[in-house]
Structure 1
Amino acid sequence: MSYISVDRVFKIYGGRQGPVEAVSNVSFAVEAGEFVSILGPSGCGKSTLLMMLAGLEATTAGAITIDGRTVTSPRRDVGLIFQDATLLPWLSVLDNVLFPIRIMKGDLATHRQKARELLDMVGLGDFHAHKPAQLSGGMRQRVAICRALIHDPHLLLMDEPFSALDAITRDDMNMALLEIWQRYHKTGVFITHSIREAVVLSDRVLVMTRRPSTVVCDIRIPFARPRGRDLGETLEFNAICRTLREHIEAGHRRDRAA
């Protein structure tokens, strides 16, 4: 049995002008330890699908199971990273990382050393006492990643966490996430509309169409880990990017024809 199973899932929202179908008949599976990116145009329903995986949105039809249990509400073994770091401005960097432990009524003293180790690993060893306003956007997202990892979740869900960053910082964050993945070996689902980002990070890439979105291809990424910055210069990397782009463009053509 796969660690994540998405089986014929639909999501339909009610609206003043009638129902809006956001996700249409989506099925896929993710094995334990896999990093899977979901790629598609803005507004296609990728984030809606992620929120259903997180248990923050209910499916209209179909079922999602994680580790053999149907998802009906948020789970403690899932970490979630949003587009915005959503740090609490009055707390220090260290206390922001520890905030989920406080909410779960866990032992803060036990987790404090792990929080320091996570921050040190992402290059924030000198910023434990800083407030979020004193950090750059990339630094805030590094804190958000540490916060998502502090309770040692089995599954990490990421909703375009680097989309607001400039290109150079975004590349740096991709390398940081690769390093984290190499060390902690979580299962991950990563939402993005960047083809190159998806290929750099992932074991598999799913392509979704415009709304109502469905999965139109599932491509395995053949590159061994660990991966470096020079990966993006290889012919094979660019050929995979081209294949994914062709699938996205084919989906656009089908939308126009319909």
Structure 2
Amino acid sequence: MTAKAKHLDLWQVSKTYQSAQGPVEAVSDVTMSIEEGDFVSILGPSGCGKSTLMMMLAGLESITDGVVVERGRQVTGPREDVGLIFQDATLLPWLSVLDNVLFPVKILKKPRNEYLRRAHDLLAMVGLSKFENHRPSQLSGGMRQRVSICRALILDPPLLMMDEPFSALDAITRDEMNLALLDIWQKNPKTGVFITHSIREAVLLSDRVLVMGGRPSKVVCDIKIPFGRPRPDDIAESPEFNKLCGELKQYIQSGHKHMEEVST
């Protein structure tokens, strides 16, 4: 089997914030690689630096020490080839669903007509064709997140980063969005980085799961998920799935205990 190319490389990446009490190291000495087309979830206790690490990968947070390289180029700031999705859909309330999806095209002053067909196709893919002229206030939470996914995909970025995009949704809608994202990923394969607190969500969606723990935070576990794609609807009921969830839970609990010991 031909080895996949590396999309992201991190070498001894650290982040230190300055506070009134002195420097606080949030992320320490993270070294890892993410291959092209891999969906990688990052798990860990609250406050362990997951989102900070993702923002450094996206070029939206400065790096104190170390290097992040994307496809052979050092990451030094924001760039167009990354799609971002956050917990809040952050749609513009005065724009229609279609215009929200096309907003990155407008901001970057690209020809709207060249992306209009793609916007229609993306909305059809997530089941929102009939809502193109609606305003965000007319949509449910899950529908708004579908729009935000389409917006992140409109420029067809090779890298998609998601920071707990479904955590504000109710349990039923969250399950629906997980299945929708599996379907979207099957139709639009990308390299993905996904931040979540949900162990089952990470195992369901991912090719690899990284667990962060400790203070300062480090990657304490890197598990390859053995399930192929497309994934069957009942995969979450299998013994192997639940065994993986149990192993990851132990790593997270260990990391959380360490953080409590350090803070006392």
**TM-score > 0.5, shorter chain as reference:** yes
Distance (Å, rounded) in 1 between the aligned partners of 2:112 and 2:136 = 20
CA contact (8 A) 2:45 2:255 kept: no
User: 2:182 matched to 1:174?
Assistant: no
Distance (Å, rounded) in 2 between the aligned partners of 1:140 and 1:41 = 27
CA contact (8 A) 2:45 2:256 kept: no
Distance (Å, rounded) in 1 between the aligned partners of 2:139 and 2:222 = 37
Pairing partner for 2:149 from 130, 145, 148:
145
CA contact (8 A) 2:101 2:148 kept: yes
Distance (Å, rounded) in 2 between the aligned partners of 1:83 and 1:9 = 25
Q: Between Structure 1 and Structure 2, how many residues are aligned?
A: 258
Distance (Å, rounded) in 2 between the aligned partners of 1:93 and 1:2 = 35
Pairing partner for 1:50 from 47, 54, 57:
54
Deviation at 1:206, TM superposition (A): 0.1
Provide the alpha-carbon RMSD of the alignment: 1.1
**Unmatched runs of 5 consecutive residues or more in structure 1:** none
Q: 1:186 corresponds to which residue?
A: 190
- For residues 197-239 of structure 1, what are the alpha-carbon distances to aligned partners after superposition, in whole Å with 9 as ceiling and x for unaligned? 0000000000000442110010000001111331110000000
Alignment of 1:11-22 (within 5 A): 11-22=15-26
Distance (Å, rounded) in 2 between the aligned partners of 1:192 and 1:240 = 16
Q: 2:227 corresponds to which residue?
A: 223
- 1:89–1:210 Cα change, 3 Å: farther
Distance (Å, rounded) in 1 between the aligned partners of 2:81 and 2:55 = 15
Q: 1:164 corresponds to which residue?
A: 168
Q: 1:201 corresponds to which residue?
A: 205
Deviation at 1:28, TM superposition (A): 1.1
**Unmatched runs of 5 consecutive residues or more in structure 2:** none
Identity of aligned residues (%): 65
CA contact (8 A) 2:215 2:259 kept: no
- 1:256–1:44 Cα change, 3 Å: closer
CA contact (8 A) 1:122 1:142 kept: yes
Alignment of 1:63-212 (within 5 A): 63-212=67-216
Distance (Å, rounded) in 2 between the aligned partners of 1:61 and 1:198 = 28
Q: TM-score, with normalisation over the residues of structure 2?
A: 0.95
SS in 2 for 1:88: coil
Pairing partner for 1:243 from 247, 250, 255:
247
Q: 1:234 corresponds to which residue?
A: 238
- 1:198–1:107 Cα change, 3 Å: same
In the alignment, residue 209 of structure 1 is paired with which amino acid?
Answer: G
Distance (Å, rounded) in 1 between the aligned partners of 2:101 and 2:22 = 42
Distance (Å, rounded) in 2 between the aligned partners of 1:189 and 1:82 = 12
CA contact (8 A) 1:41 1:210 kept: no
Q: 1:38 corresponds to which residue?
A: 42
Distance (Å, rounded) in 2 between the aligned partners of 1:223 and 1:20 = 39
Distance (Å, rounded) in 2 between the aligned partners of 1:154 and 1:55 = 15
User: 2:45 matched to 1:9?
Assistant: no
